[in-house]
A and B are shown apart, each in its own frame.
Chain A
Amino acid sequence: MNWWLAAALALVTGGLGPCLWGAARGSAGRRVVAQNMATLLLCLVFLLLAQGYARPSYVDLALVVAVLGPAGTLVFTRLLGDEIGENPPGLRLLTPAVLVGAPATVVPLCIATGPGRAMGKLVLIGLLLIAGGIVTSAAVRRA
């Protein structure tokens, strides 16, 4: 029983599914929040898949998502600014989800991979994710 893939499956069904539902329905603000949450979850899923399939080279995907995900959300906030409204539903969930989710995934992965260049990459991804999450949720709140 590959626990990493099981975790990935849980994250996909439990997280990505509702994010899709949120992105497809409701006000523009709620959709942007759902999209932001989806990019965060995606990065974690890629990390888990990389470990589950025992393919360290898949981590590059997570690295690119950690950088492009927030950029995509900032695009939406910049260009959909006036439609987002003051306090879109689900915004409060964003920052805690990032602060809890990222370490909860990166730390066990670091333990599993052991010290070395790979661990450095994981830590970098974790930091990028946290920084991106905080900044984008602030940007959405102030849109």
Chain B
Amino acid sequence: MTRRLRLWVLTAGLLATAALYVAACTDLPAFGGSWHPYGDRAVRAALQQHTANAVSSVNFDQRAFDTLGEETVLFSSVLGTVVLLRRTRGEKRVAPGPAEVPAALRRYGLLVLPVTLLIGLYVIAHGQLSPGGGFQGGVVVATSLHLLYIAVDYKALERIRPLGLFELADGTGEAAYILLGAAGLIAGSAYLANTLPLGTFNTLSSGGTVPLLNAAVGVEVTSAVVVLLAHFLGQALEIESEDGAKDGGREA
């Protein structure tokens, strides 16, 4: 299809979609209105479950099945990337040379890494109290590990990142979330039911299963992001086609 025809089809589609969407916007309730029935019910339920952060309560208690689906999307995307970015037959792994890094940057990296790690763990732990949660904290922890690559060099990162362990943690995090859900069934209530004691409001152990699910998601997200970045780093820095000139795939 020629570029011109594609532009015509695209413009027609965009105009029609825009018209449809603007017509819909005129019937939407005004921005900032006070009619939020589901939200009010969710806040009441969150307070009843002694969970200070209502968003975490919706995520890990009221609509926990959505979060199970979301974590499984992350889990399968990482598994897909492991499969897609694997080293195929005609490729070999070449360790990249050490990158020359100014001393100040190296010191900054080594100093800030533990601080970032602590912040990430703090965000996971306080998931059901202050803003944050398993996913946000998990990504911060994973980024802190990669400070070694950014501020020091790739070899330093590889030393502290055994891939087998992180893949095990990835699978364990996903299985932990599912089994925590099954605990509700075993306790006689429904799947993913919050049957643990709810604890006192606004404390670290409040909210029954919410902090546990938070921790499971934190473990899984941390290891997922580490494995994901490991394979992207591997492809970009290490994997070369067998004989440098001819590429492993089709000759252009």
A-side residues, CB < 8 A to B, are 57-58, 60-61, 63-64, 67-68, 70-71, 74-75, 78, 128, 131-132, 134-135, 138-139, 142
B143 contacts chain A at the CB level, 8 A cutoff: yes
In the bound complex, do residue A60 and residue B132 qualify as a contact, i.e. CB atoms below 8 Å apart? Answer: yes
Give the residues in chain A near B150, CB-CB below 8 Å.
Answer: 71, 74-75, 78
Chain A: interface secondary structure? Answer: helix
Chain B: interface secondary structure? Answer: helix
Q: Give the distance in Å from the alpha carbon of A40 to the alpha carbon of B249 in the complex.
A: 44
Nearest chain-B residue to A127 (Cβ)? B115
In the bound complex, do residue B151 and residue A74 qualify as a contact, i.e. CB atoms below 8 Å apart? Answer: yes
Known: A71-B116, A74-B105, A138-B105. 20 other contacts (CB 8 A): A57-B131, A64-B119, A64-B123, A64-B136, A67-B112, A67-B115, A67-B140, A67-B144, A68-B143, A70-B108, A70-B112, A71-B146, A74-B151, A75-B150, A78-B99, A78-B150, A131-B112, A132-B112, A135-B105, A139-B102
In the bound complex, do residue A128 and residue B99 qualify as a contact, i.e. CB atoms below 8 Å apart? Answer: no
Q: Give the distance in Å from the alpha carbon of A70 to the alpha carbon of B144 in the complex.
A: 12
In the bound complex, do residue A142 and residue B102 qualify as a contact, i.e. CB atoms below 8 Å apart? Answer: yes
Give the residues in chain B near A135, CB-CB below 8 Å.
Answer: 104-105, 108
Q: Give the distance in Å from the alpha carbon of A134 to the alpha carbon of B131 in the complex.
A: 29
Nearest chain-B residue to A134 (Cβ)? B104
- Nearest-CB distance from B125 to chain A (Å)? 12
Give the residues in chain B near A61, CB-CB below 8 Å.
Answer: 131
Q: List 8 A-B contacts (CB under 8 A).
A: A57-B130, A64-B136, A67-B112, A68-B143, A71-B143, A131-B111, A135-B104, A138-B102
In the bound complex, do residue B140 and residue A128 qualify as a contact, i.e. CB atoms below 8 Å apart? Answer: no
